[in-house]
Amino acid sequence: MPVITCIDDLKRLHRARTPRMFYDYAESGSYSEQTFRENTSDFSQIRLRQKVAVDMSNRSTASTMAGLPVSMPVGLAPVGLTGMQHADGEIKAARAAEKFGVPFALSTMSICSIEDVAEHTTKPFMFQLYVMKDQEFLEGIINRAKAANCNALVLTLDLQILGQRHKDLKNGLSAPPKLTASTLLDLATRWRWGLGMLGTKRRQFGNIVGHAKGVGDASSLMSWVGEQFDERLDWEKIARIRDLWGGKLILKGVLDPEDARRAADFGCDAIVVSNHGGRQLDGALSSIRMLPEIVKAVGDQVEIHLDSGIRSGQDVLKALALGAHATWIGRAFVHGLGAMGEAGVTKALDVIRKELDISMALCGERDIHNIGRHNVLVPEGFTAENYR
């Protein structure tokens, strides 16, 4: 077993062990992938301020996210097709998050269904919602999430229309994969993945197949999904979803100060500053560049989380220093899942917590709530305010 020291180690194993179409699905962005790349590279421009001769004992990374206690302010973001990275992937990721004491958000486009994950976990998890045109399906899936005792609804706002990801088109992405000559050759070299998939019945979008009218198999699913994202989603519809849900609400995909102010006035438990991991609007600024301006716009009116680009505990620290209350990881935990299943997700979380803990100490902080702008050095011209 190779020694795992960082998320990049898990990423290399993920690439070696998972079919190309699913690895590429996770490790890609839309169009030229400029925003996808800058989400991570922009973090490297922020530097940490080292402090010495301070008491570093009795450190704590414990915090809250949307009022829920967490062992560190890092949640597992909703990621589609997670069950294609590793057999029963959503169940395994949810279990790892539960044991670690951090939130897990199940995607609408998951392979394992809401009911599957609820059956195999002991504590509530969050559910992420894409707004579909089919009102019967929309109301049904919200009610299913309520019945499963999900503790928050993560409503994604930045996917009313799907950004084009070239790799997915070239690879012929589907779940389950279509058995072409090139696909069969790829699968033959990923025997761990293949054995896992042979041992599970979960190979399609479990939240949709059998629940949406007229969707009974993979072929009918793809045509249904292609037509269903609601391009008319607006604040009036969001209000109706909030009222139907009736619980904690997190609005994900906010990347503009004006939108952030609207979300804060609307009334929600948190907003997530996110560009969908660079998978939607290519050419948008990175989440970390937009964060300070959004913090300035809404102050403490609403809890601010950051998603997109985090690959280390140092990145978490930098996001907190620039005003985020908490963070979310997607690709970082997916690399762990694709590499080693549930143990890999646990390893990814452990790597990030250790990096966060040690970096926090070397910055002179013992309590994660004390991290602030004084802990970082930000280059002149870094933030979004300089793009006018």
Give catalytic residue positions.
Answer: 276
- Closest to 212 (Cα-Cα) out of 226, 196, 198: 226
Phi/psi of residue 240, nearest 5 degrees: -65, -40
- Name 194's Cβ contacts closer than 8 Å, sequence gap at least 6: 187, 188
Torsion of CA 76, 133, 248, 102, to 10 degrees: -10
- Name 128's Cβ contacts closer than 8 Å, sequence gap at least 6: 78, 105, 106, 107, 108, 153, 154, 155, 156, 252
CA dihedral sign of residues 345, 350, 352, 353: positive
Helix, strand, or coil (residue 120): coil
Q: How far apart are CA 198 and CA 221, in angstroms?
A: 22
DSSP state at residue 162: P
Q: How many residues does the chain have?
A: 388
